[in-house]
Structure 1
Amino acid sequence: MYAKVTLMCLAAVALARPDKPAPTGYGYAPPTPAYAPPQPSYSAPQPSYSAPAPSYEKHEEGMPFDFEYAVKDDYKGLDFDHNSNSDGKVVNGQYRVVLPDGRTQIVTYTADHYNGYQAEVTYEGEAQYPEPQPYKPAPSYNAPAPSYKAPAPSYSAPAPTYEQPKPQYGAPQY
């Protein structure tokens, strides 16, 4: 028995020789790649940076305008307006908004290229914070009762409008 185990170990060592090349695929050598990517034949461009031209020194004069709009919707509680006018150099305007607390916010502004946007904000009225009312559903809609009677049937069986057909053939001849 000891001899059999020794013989099997010697066979395993002989089969696992380190000088024997490892098998590949079906016994063929692996293919060598036929494609090699080309090397770039150009150089990267040199960066060219220049400082941007200052835009604050030169500006175009605007067009004169004048506009105004207003919205007042008592159902939804909206009330605001805006008006503005310009001579092409300076814009003057005002807008007002009714705030949820009941005050009216008024913004009066002036804007130009030298002083920028300058606004003066004022408020009219006093802030009010009423207690919230509990929800009361609106009265439900009831359909009105009909004010007419259902129509009575006014038809009868139709009278026949045809006559008994006359025979189209004669008596048989013998």
Structure 2
Amino acid sequence: MELLARAMWGPAAPGLRVLPSSAAELLTALRAPARLGAHLRAVHDVAWRLTGWLGGAYPGLRFDRRAVLFGAATHDIGKVLHPEELSGPGSRHEDAGRWLLLAAGVDPRLARFAGSHGRWDAPGARLEDLLVAVADKVWKANRVPDLEYLVVQRLVVVSGQEPWTAFLTLDGQLDALAAGAGGRLAYQNGFPIAVG
């Protein structure tokens, strides 16, 4: 568990913020692999930066920043039960994660991110769901135009900007966030998948 604690709170070369204590306590109780702690820390950091920027650049945009940050810090918690998905594809962790969070007493409004981060294109997806999904992509410099377009639509509504202006503004910020992907990937991959 020492490795997990270091992944969540220890010094990080890319200057990643530590995980919130609520997420760290859940990961510790579940005996999560250190790599999962490092991954969630990286995604949480990107979500923190993204939501901070959005709050300043688009003050009329209403979203629950605390919910986004919790969602980013716990979205893959189901990989505790499906560790093979830490190094390979799969979506079994999504429903498993939601179940784990609900079983731990997490509010369903927050537990939903474990499933919604992979289903951001579902009808009724909230802005918070989109932002967790964007952070989960951009942390490793993966850009998903359809996902980003859904965020741009929300920015247009609150700002009155032309869509291309909102797109260029968001695109510039996401490019800046994606630029740190190499350091975040190296940090994550410096931790083992096996619990130890």
Q: Considering fraction of residues, name the structure with more strand.
A: 1
TM-score of the pair, normalised by structure 2: 0.16
TM-score of the pair, normalised by structure 1: 0.18
Which structure exhibits the higher relative contact order, with contacts defined as CA atoms closer than 8 Å and separated by 6 or more residues?
2
Higher-Rg structure is 1
